[in-house]
Amino acid sequence: MVNNERFPWGHSRRFNSYTEHIRMTFGGRMQKVVVDAGFTCPNRDGSKAFGGCTYCNNDAFNPSYCSPVEPLHHQIARGIEFHAVRYRKATRYLVYFQPYSNTYAPLSRLRELYEDALSYPGVAGLVIGTRPDCIDEPILDYLEDLSRKYYIQVEYGIESCYDTTLDRINRQHHFDLGEQVIRKTHARGIKTGAHFIFGLPGETLEQMLASVDIISRLPLDTVKFHQLQIVIGTRMEEEFREKPSDFYPFSLDNYISFIVSFIGRMNPSIVIERFSGELPPRFMETTQWGLIRYDAVLRLIEKELERQNTWQGKYYM
């Protein structure tokens, strides 16, 4: 056990853990409940492009209890029931608007959806997944007002710090827009998160490692990292079949080594929500890492941090 005083985040884990952050913030466990409110994205509906991001199949990470045809309260109730066995200590919930771009609608529609979710008993706030090009000043004004009463977090899919990568995966925005929107959101006092993917086609290991310096300069409250997973039914599946040499193939051991090096240089004030992702086997093009679950990956990362006697921000300058 490491002395708590060693780490500025106030607990003994070797990274600034989201689970511990929430426990310290709310005095207990807070469970996220995913809902599907039927949104789409501007690179799917033709306003910018068609087809969406080349890696994306939202069905692959949408929980079984979510369906956009069901009212939000039904989805929330089913989500709470779904998590009740595993997370019995959770008595308060964050409703997570996850699939697609959850600010991509008129403000009147967003008010209706968000306030409907917040009215559910035990809901303490919202986590809203979206894109940097699906937010504007009126929406930020509204979210700023909500954040004075509830826990409000906006999670932006940034995915890469490199414009050539963003172009290749059909994001239809560049990194500078993501940076601008992150700064605007954070300046409003709204909890600000970002999502990044490691292993996107064309990126080298050196580029991925170098991105930690870019990310560390952003005013982020939270961050999620995922390794690239080739999902069946996506354009990236076709690209991977045609030219696998364009992809950096992380083995489990290589990914753990990469993550440990990465967070050693990372700003210690940023809370880390996830280090990797997992998919149902039926969506996977390849059985990466033997279908190991996230909890097992996390244990291996923490074990390696301890073995190397390192931690988030040890080499941050």
The whole-angstrom separation of Cα 278 and Cα 291 is 8
Which tokens in the block code for residue 267? Answer: 């700003």
Alpha-carbon torsion (224, 83, 283, 97), positive or negative: negative
At residue 96, the pLDDT reads 97
Q: In what order do the strands lie in the sheet with 222-227?
A: 30-35, 92-97, 123-130, 151-159, 191-198, 222-227, 271-274
At residue 2, the pLDDT reads 47
Q: 4-307 adopts what CATH topology?
A: TIM Barrel (3.20.20)
Closest-CA residue to 218 (of 257, 172, 169, 269): 269
The whole-angstrom separation of Cα 48 and Cα 39 is 15
- One-letter amino acid of 137: E
From residue 274, how far is each of 15, 55, 174 by CA, in Å?
11, 19, 23
Rounded-to-5 percentages of helix, strand, coil across the chain: 40, 15, 45
Q: Do residues 14 and 311 make contact, with C-beta atoms less than 8 angstroms apart?
A: yes
Low-confidence ranges of the chain (pLDDT < 50): 1-4
At residue 28, the pLDDT reads 86
Q: Do residues 164 and 174 make contact, with C-beta atoms less than 8 angstroms apart?
A: no
Give tens-digit pLDDT for 215-240.
Answer: 999 999 999 999 998 888 889 999 99
The whole-angstrom separation of Cα 83 and Cα 96 is 14
At residue 317, the pLDDT reads 87
Q: Is 39 left (phi over 0), alpha (psi -120 to 50) or beta?
A: beta
Query: What are the domain boundaries of the chain?
Result: 4-307
What are the E-state strand segments in 36-144?
92-97, 123-130
The whole-angstrom separation of Cα 126 and Cα 131 is 16
